[in-house]
Amino acid sequence: MKPVFNTPDWVLVALAERRQHNLMRRTITLDSAQTPHTRINNQAYTAFCSNDYLGLADHPDVIQALQLGALKYGVGGGSSHLVCGHLAPHQALEDALADWLGYDRVMLFSTGYMANLGVISALADKNRPVLQDKLNHASLIDGAMLAQASLRRYLHGDVVSAERLLAKSATPGLLVTDGVFSMDGDVAPLLELSRLARQHEWMFMVDDAHGLGCLGEQGKGCLSLSGLNANSLPILVGTFGKAFGTAGAFVATSHDYAEYLTQFARPYVYTTSMSPAIASATLASLQIIQSAEGQDRRERLARHIEYFRQRVQSLPVELMPSNTAIQPIIVGDSKAALDIGEQLKTLGIWCTAIRPPTVPVGRARLRITLSAAHSDDDLVLLCDSLEKVLTATL
């Protein structure tokens, strides 16, 4: 017999409210690999919602590296990095990332969420405040909450707003921003924020989860795009679950910050290390990103972005000012966004509707993401389908 649970009323009320406002989240199960042409519920779709921006999640070299890494080092890390879970593939990946990005040290984390929680909760506290962009990722906000730090949020992308709040603070702390914002696709004014941080003697941290691999010279992300380096951006967080096509995350920083985080970043100290096989696969991804093939993939992605924006700008919707792989179309109403997503499915397009609280109320959207793995025909199908559905609906 299945167990019978006595669910508290407040749980049922919260779920009912979500249903009433068309805000329920659901898990979907893919019946195929993470590729543009996927199968969901035994139906074929062309997907435009994955963060696999360079199409490396099923790259044969990455798969082979994963298999060879598992054969030599096993699948599990077995322990935290500080006990006996730091294996040779971890060290090789850290060294390669540090050399690529020009930092003293790199530390690996199991996920991007854990990296942000670990760094912020270690560097901020009740006496060291945190200042963040209004649209920062939830993990960055949660890191400040875990630290029990005073948290202020400046207007999105607004350097004047950030400076005003910095000037009001009695003590220096940690200035934090996304590099590329995951729901809007725009890039933060990193050069100006870096200057502010230095002027006011604040630590400066950037989470470049959606920029690394795709933007800048050799795919070095917003660091390169904004003309920054390890001196002007002392704490850089990146993830492997996007353009790298694998899983896990890292923080690139100085020797001193790395030593401090090794002692005080609880999600690093008390978490089993990432799989050594994944570390091997990620190193292979990095090598592709640095290569001529990686450059070809970035150029193909850029062409897709240009084509998409040219086609969609004439449709009766708000297209966000983004030049990255994230191309949100603002619909506004949550139910309307869901309905449009369902209509696109009938045309073979899988595109997820994003609704509050992930985005502000009244700003529900189709979060369309493009990949180098998409073909030109895929982009034509997407734009033709959007034109058909949006002109008939809005």
The answer on whether 90 is annotated among ligand-binding residues is no
Mind spelling out the 3-state secondary structure of the chain? CCCCCCCCHHHHHHHHHHHHCCCCCCCCCECCCCCCEEEECCEEEEECCCCCCCCCCCCHHHHHHHHHHHHHHCCCCCCECCCCCCCHHHHHHHHHHHHHHCCCEEEEECCHHHHHHHHHHHHCECCECEEEECCCCHHHHHHHHHCCCCEEEECCCCHHHHHHHHHHCCCCCEEEEECECCCCCCECCHHHHHHHHHHHCCEEEEECCCCCCCCCHHHCCHHHHCCCCCCCCCEEEEECCCCCCCCCEEEEECHHHHHHHHHHCHHHHCCECCCHHHHHHHHHHHHHHHCHHHHHHHHHHHHHHHHHHHHHCCCCCEECCCCCCEEEEEEECHHHHHHHHHHHHHCCEECCEECCCCCCCCCEEEEEECCCCCCHHHHHHHHHHHHHHHHHHC
Between CA 58 and CA 327 the distance in angstroms is: 23
The residue written with tokens 């996304």 in the block is: 178
The answer on whether 246 is annotated among ligand-binding residues is no
The answer on whether 239 is annotated among ligand-binding residues is yes
Between CA 125 and CA 376 the distance in angstroms is: 50
The CB-based long-range contact list for 8-17 (8 Å cut-off, 24+ gap) reads none
Please say whether the beta carbons of 369 and 210 come within 8 A. no
Please say whether the beta carbons of 359 and 332 come within 8 A. no
The answer on whether 282 is annotated among ligand-binding residues is no
Between CA 54 and CA 34 the distance in angstroms is: 12
- Other residues' Cβ atoms within 10 Å of the Cβ of residue 179: 27
The answer on whether 128 is annotated among ligand-binding residues is no
The answer on whether 113 is annotated among ligand-binding residues is yes
Annotated binding site: 25, 112-113, 137, 182, 210, 239, 358
The annotation places the binding site for substrate at 25, 137, 358
Residue ranges for the known binding site for pyridoxal 5'-phosphate are 112-113, 182, 210, 239
